[in-house]
Amino acid sequence: MPVITVDWWQGNDRAARAELVAELTATASRIANCPKEAVTVLVRDVAHDHWGSGGTLADELVGLDRSPAGT
């Protein structure tokens, strides 16, 4: 049955995760024509400095770089 994995930036609260899981479960259940209990959703919080886009770490992109001298 459906297993959905979501990687998103660290810092989202429990309420946001719960809403995401509920919405993804409902949609997958409807489309796959299976019971909600058959849907698994994994939510992985990824630190900004472990996420890159366009060759740059995300903490630099969003101004969160806390390393000494930006290194």
- Structural domains of the chain in order of their starting residue, each with its CATH number: 3-70 (3.30.429.10)
Is the pLDDT at 69 greater than 60? The verdict is no
pLDDT recorded at residue 63 = 78
**What is the DSSP pairing of strand 56-57 with strand 52-53?**
antiparallel
Q: Which of these, 54, 33, 43, lies nearest to 9 by C-alpha position?
A: 43
Helices and strands, counts by H and E, the chain: 2, 4
Contact 36, 4 (CB under 8 A): no
pLDDT recorded at residue 12 = 94
Q: What percent of the chain has pLDDT over 70?
A: 89
What does the pLDDT look like over 33-67, one tens digit per residue?
Answer: 999 999 999 999 999 999 999 999 999 988 765 65
**Single pTM value for the model:** 0.79
DSSP state of 16: H
